[in-house]
Each structure stands twice: as C-alpha cells, then as structure tokens.
Amino acid sequence: MTVERFANEFGFDILCMPAPEKEISGAYIGDLLSWVMGKAEQSNVWLTIMSNINTVAVATLADTSCILLCEGVRADGELLRTASEKGVNILSTDLTSFEAAVKIKDAVR
C-alpha cells in the first residue's frame, strides 16, 4: 500500500507528503532516536510523538515510508519545510501510538 492510500484509508491528517508513492511495509513505534535508527526497518511506518527536526534525518537514514505523529502532536513549519525538501512524509492522528498501531496492524503487514 502506498503512503497516500494509507493516509486516506485511515483518515490520518497529511502534514506533508512529498513522496506519496512510497510503499509501506510494517511499522515501528519509538521516540528515542537511537532505537529507531537501530530497529526500524525499511518502508516501516514510524509511529512517534517526537516532532523535532532530527526526526527527518532519522526517517531519511532508516528509510521509513512515513512518520505518523500520534497523540495529536503537531509539527512546526520549519520541520515540514525540511521534511518536504528531503522527501519525508509526515502524517498525524489524535490516536495514541497504541490505538493507531492496533488500527493499522492488518494493513501494514
């Protein structure tokens, strides 16, 4: 499933989507950047409440398909500008990371 379809199917807010065609496979939940770097797999949806600029580099290097900001966490303009430039998709939801994970579990497998 592409990130664009994923966002639409689950009604997640699209904060920026420079690469809508990226394919999704699996997911990883984490807010500590070294854990995400070490454990997230290519094409994962990355569920997190961390929304500072450093997430863009981590998403780029770990090759995640998109960042899904949970718990209603928002991203500021600078983050979204950088993410757009670097081709990093960012979605958001008011759900908790757990609720979001349960909701998407069958679709991202």
Partner 1 sequence: MSDRLIFRFDVEGDDFTSAGQASVQVKKNLRQLGIDSETIRRVSIAMYEGEINMVIHAGGGVAEVAVCEDYIEIVLEDTGPGIKDIEQAMQAGYSTASDTVRSLGFGAGMGLPNMKKNSDSMTIDSTPGVGTRIVMKIMYGGKANEGV
* Interaction site with partner 1 (CB under 8 A): 31-35, 37-38, 42, 50, 52-55, 57-58, 60-63, 86
| Least distance between partner 1 and beta carbon 64 (Å) | 12
Q: Under a CB-based contact definition with an 8 Å cutoff, are residues 93 and 70 in contact?
A: yes
Nearer of residues 8 and 54 to partner 1, judged by Cβ: 54
| Least distance between partner 1 and beta carbon 39 (Å) | 9
Nearer of residues 61 and 102 to partner 1, judged by Cβ: 61
38 backbone dihedrals φ, ψ, rounded to 5°: -80, -25
Nearer of residues 10 and 28 to partner 1, judged by Cβ: 28
Other CB atoms within a 10 A radius of the CB of residue 39 amount to 12
| Least distance between partner 1 and beta carbon 106 (Å) | 27
Nearer of residues 85 and 99 to partner 1, judged by Cβ: 85
DSSP one-letter code for 23: B
Q: Under a CB-based contact definition with an 8 Å cutoff, are residues 4 and 24 in contact?
A: no
81 backbone dihedrals φ, ψ, rounded to 5°: -65, -50
Q: Under a CB-based contact definition with an 8 Å cutoff, are residues 2 and 22 in contact?
A: yes
| Least distance between partner 1 and beta carbon 29 (Å) | 13
